Amino acid sequence: MLKSLTDAGIVVVLACCVQGGWRLCPASPNVDGAMVNTMVDARLAAEEDTFWMRRALELAQTAARAGEVPVGAVLVRDGQMLGEGWNHPVSGADPTAHAEIAALRAAASAVGNYRLPRSTLYVTIEPCAMCAGALVHARVERVVFAAREPRAGVVASNLELLDAAFLNHRVRWDEGPCALEAATLMQEFFRSRRQVGSAS
Ligand SMILES: [Zn+2]
C-alpha cells in the first residue's frame, strides 16, 4: 500500500503493515527508514489519541444529557478500553465523581488492581488537583486532555502539578485532540444553564 508523507517537500514511500503497525517497506529507495518510521508511528499515535478522545466526548455528552458538567474519560491499555466514565457529582451526591475518577475506578475494578501501569487516560477537559493526584496514585503512564481548564486545571493551566519533582511517579501528559469539540460542549452547556437561570 502506498502512503505519502510530506517533510520539506514531498516524500513518497512504500509502507507496509507489519504486526499491526506501519513500517517502511524494505524496497523503498533512498529514504531514511528510521525517520519515516518515526513519522508514521507519530501519525498513528495521533490517530489513536483522536479515536479514544472521540469516545471520551461521547461520554461527556452523556454527562450533559444528565445535567452534569460535560466531561468524559476513557482509560486505555494496549489498545483496549479498561474503564470509562463521565462527570456525575450531582446525581451521585459524590464530590469525587469526576470523569477521571469514574474511569479509574471502573478500570481498577475490572483488572483487580488499583495500580494501572502502562495505561493512558483520555479526558475531555484538563484534570483538577484531585484527579491529577489520583492519576499519580494509580501509576497511570500518560494523560491526554482535549481542552484546558484555566481555573481548575493543574496540568498546564496552573501549578503544572504532574511535573512536580516531589512526586514519586511521573505521569506524562499531552493536550489538544478534539480540543474545539470539548470546549464547545462546555460553552454550550454553561450557556444553556444561564438561559435556564435567567428564564426562571
Ligand atoms: Zn477532577
Render pLDDT for 105-155 as a digit per residue (tens, 0 to 9).
999 999 999 999 999 999 999 999 999 999 999 999 999 999 999 999 999
Per-residue confidence at 9, pLDDT binned at 50, 70, 90? very low
Does the pLDDT at position 17 exceed 60? no
> In this predicted structure, what is the pLDDT of residue 26?
46
The pLDDT value recorded for residue 30 is 58
Residue 4: pLDDT over 60: no
Contact 75, 102 (CB under 8 A): no
Neighbours of ion ligand 1 (CB under 5 A): 98, 128, 130-131
- Distance from the alpha carbon of residue 45 to the mean position of ligand 1, in angstroms: 25
> Which amino acid appears at position 179 of this protein?
A
pLDDT at site 196: 84
- 12 pLDDT higher than 50: no
88 compared with 27, residue with greater pLDDT = 88
Amino acid at 61: Q
- pLDDT at residue 199, as a whole number: 75
**CB contact at 8 A, 2 and 14:** yes
Mean pLDDT score of the chain, rounded to an integer?
Answer: 88
Q: For residue 1, count CB atoms less than 10 angstroms from its CB and return exposed for 0-12, middle for 13-18, buried for 19 or more.
A: exposed
Mean pLDDT for 72-98 is: 98
Q: How far is the CA of 98 from the centre of ligand 1 (A)?
A: 5
| Residue 63, helix vs strand vs coil | helix
pLDDT of 11 = 35
Task: Report CA(192)–ligand 1 centroid distance (Å).
Answer: 22
Cβ pair 52, 123 in contact under 8 A: no
Q: Active-site residues: which are they?
A: 100
Average pLDDT over residues 76-87: 98
Tell me what pLDDT residue 169 has. 98
Surface-to-core class of residue 30, CB atoms within 10 Å of its CB (0-12 exposed, 13-18 middle, 19+ buried): exposed
Q: Please give the distance, rounded to the nearest whole angstrom, from the Cα atom of residue 157 to the centre of ligand 1.
A: 14
Grid cell 509502507 in the structure block, residue: 15
Amino acid 14: pLDDT: 36
Share above pLDDT 90 across residues of the chain, in percent, rounded to a whole number: 78
Q: What is the pLDDT of residues 51-71, one digit of tens each?
A: 999 999 999 999 999 999 999
